Amino acid sequence: MKTIVIAGGTDGIGKALAEVRLGAGDTVVVVGRSETKGKAFLDTAAALGAADRAVFLPADLSLIEENERIADELRARFPTLDALIFCARHYRTRRAETADGIEENFALFYLSRYLLGHALVDALSAAEHPVVVNVAGPGASLNVVRWDDLELRHGYHGGAALGQGGKLNDLLGVAFAERYGELGIRYVLIHPGVTATSFSGSYDEPTLQQIRSMQSFAKPVEAALPPILAAVDAPPAEPLSAFVEGVRIGVTDRSFDPAAARRLDADTARILLGRRGKSAAAEAN
Ligand SMILES: NC(=O)c1ccc[n+]([C@@H]2O[C@H](COP(=O)([O-])OP(=O)(O)OC[C@H]3O[C@@H](n4cnc5c(N)ncnc54)[C@H](OP(=O)(O)O)[C@@H]3O)[C@@H](O)[C@H]2O)c1
């Protein structure tokens, strides 16, 4: 039986995955903001007779410290992790910044995945067939990345922030696999296709109408699960792989450029250093 962490496991695809894996006998940890949804997950677990294998960790994963707290708790409670699945995401029509002063999409959709993945390498590498599954939208062109304005201070658009976030996750996968592939950890990028989920977001009215119309033709959540379940049960042999609606796509073309991945890795380390420096200075004053 496996131990599986699902960041963004309280709703949508993550929630459906959590329930399926609990039913299959795994230990499942879900992370999300909503206490109500977390309690509903624990109630479902109790109804399945799996209360002792279900954990809800409330956290706002858009915050650096919250990711560090969750990683610390996971490391302390679970020295071995078989699968780390990223599903947390929140659309924003209007640009917003977290309390750390980081643009929200960048912070939640990309930086949280960067922080949790790196912090849990030891626990993952202790498993027999460890896998990180990054559910986003692999395969877009590198052109969507605004290298000189990663936090989209100029000309923000929610769709562009989401598109860029997906690409940053591709590059995160490239850098992660390059660094940790030899430890046996497999990194799998998955585009589930348009799926009828909660579409967590802060929308203006026109965008909300578009979301409602998308929900009417989107596929049911259950249809998005098989590629993710397959990646958990039998991770691909290669350190990095990518799937769009169950179809494997290549990860060697220009859009998965290792030099771009290293550039993002270095930029991310710089952004984190800058934010931590500011926090330390604020605490000292
Ligand atoms: N649905 C689609 O059509 C589609 C298409 C392409 C890619 N994807 C990708 O698939 C993944 C899952 O999407 P979904 O549509 O299933 O998600 P969803 O239904 O919108 O649920 C989002 C999840 O993220 C959590 N979340 C949001 N803000 C958070 C925060 N600040 N801290 C912690 N957790 C937070 C939510 O939990 P709380 O409510 O408890 O905070 C919820 O569990 C995402 O990565 C998305 O990019 C989805």
Ligand 1 atom at shortest distance from the alpha carbon of 201: 20
pLDDT band for 280, please (50, 70, 90 cuts).
low
* Residue 275 predicted with pLDDT over 90: no
Q: Does 277 have pLDDT greater than 80?
A: no
* 195 Cβ below 6 A of ligand 1: yes
- Ligand 1 centre to CA of 20 (Å) is 17
Q: Is the pLDDT of residue 276 over 80?
A: no
State residue 99's pLDDT score. 96
- Atom of ligand 1 minimally distant from the CA of 34: 40
Q: Pick the residue whose CA is nearest to atom 12 on ligand 1.
A: 87
Confidence check: pLDDT of 216 > 70: yes
**The two structure tokens encoding residue 170:** 């591709």
Residue range 81-91, pLDDT digits in tens: 999 999 999 99
88-111: average pLDDT: 97
- List, in order of start, the domains of the chain with CATH numbers: 3-284 (3.40.50.720)
Contact 113, 169 (CB under 8 A): yes
Residue 237: what are its φ and ψ, rounded to 5°? -70, -30
**CB of 144 within 8 A of CB of 164?**
yes
Q: Would you say the CB of residue 87 lies under 6 angstroms from ligand 1?
A: yes
What integer is the mean pLDDT of 215-235? 97
* 60 token code pair: 């706002």
Q: Are 20 and 229 in contact (CB under 8 A)?
A: yes
Residue-by-residue DSSP string for 242-280: EEETTEEE-S-SGGG-HHHHHHHHHHHHHHHHHHHHHHH
What pLDDT band is residue 24 in, cutting at 50, 70 and 90?
very high
- pLDDT tens for 34-61 read 999 999 999 999 999 999 999 999 999 9
Q: Report pLDDT for 274.
A: 87
Check pocket membership of 11 for ligand 1, CB cut-off 6 A. yes
CA nearest ligand 1 atom 11, residue: 87
137-190 pLDDT tens trace:
999 999 999 999 999 999 999 999 999 999 999 999 999 999 999 999 999 999
Band of pLDDT at residue 29, cut at 50, 70 and 90: very high
Mean pLDDT, the chain, integer: 96
Indicate if ligand 1 lies below 6 Å from the C-beta of 198. Answer: yes
Residues 219/222/228/233 CA torsion (nearest 10 deg): -150
Nearest residue (by CA) to ligand 1, atom 1, is 195
Query: What is the number of alpha carbons within 13 Å of residue 132 lying toward its C-beta?
Result: 33
pTM flag (> 0.85): yes
For residue range 61-74, list pLDDT tens digits in order.
Answer: 999 999 999 999 99
The pLDDT of residue 156 is 97
